[in-house]
Amino acid sequence: MLKKILIALLALIVVLVIIVAVQPSEFRITRKAVIPAPPAAVFEQINDFQKWNAWSPWAKLDPNAKNTFEGPAAGVGAKFLWSGNNEVGEGSMTITASKPGESVVMDLVFIKPFAASSVTEFTMKPEGAGTEVTWSMSGKNNFIGKAAGLFMNCDKIVGTKFKEGFANLKRVVARP
């Protein structure tokens, strides 16, 4: 009897490993919004990490997080490092490309609660009296990332945060 239970358990583990292994190796999460401000005003908020706490949806999750900045104040080479509670974890963002009024690309690295890296990109284009902003995050899924994707909808979770960030950004750029 014990032998049959062990064989069944082993078969279940093998099936689970196969299911995880065939999950997509890459991910991309994208959301768009129109911000009622010119591209230059939106770009200024995104391109300067020291302005992020005013609109970032993650800033409210741990107001006591330790934030440090390295490199130039804004643009290519600017780096934002944080260490906070379990909701925000620990990591860094570094701007790797920056085109005024058009786009900002950054490397995003998480250390805690788990190691991961991705590329985050903001693109801006005029839309009527405002700016259409596309916020995306993409990267590779390792085995743990693939397994986590079976139990939680990362697109929905992160996408909801992107939408919250857009709402905050609208309020920030609408200030007189």
Over residues 54-104, the pLDDT tens digits come to 999 988 889 899 999 999 999 999 999 999 998 889 999 999 999 999 999
Q: Is the pLDDT of residue 121 over 90?
A: yes
The count of other CB atoms within 10 Å of the CB of residue 70 is: 12
Q: Which tens digits make up the pLDDT trace of 29-47? A: 999 999 999 999 999 999 9
Which residue type is seen at 117?
S
Higher pLDDT, 143 or 113: 113
pLDDT(176) > 70: no
pTM score: 0.83
Q: Give all domains of the chain, ordered by start, each with its CATH number.
A: 26-174 (3.30.530.20)
Is the pLDDT at 18 greater than 90? The verdict is: no
Please, are residues 26 and 136 in contact by the beta-carbon 8 Å criterion?
no
Angle formed by the axes of helices 154-174 and 39-46, nearest 10°: 120
The predicted-structure confidence for 146-161, as pLDDT tens digits, reads as follows 777 777 788 888 889 9
**CA distances to 38, 75, 135, 138 from 94, in Å:** 24, 9, 16, 15
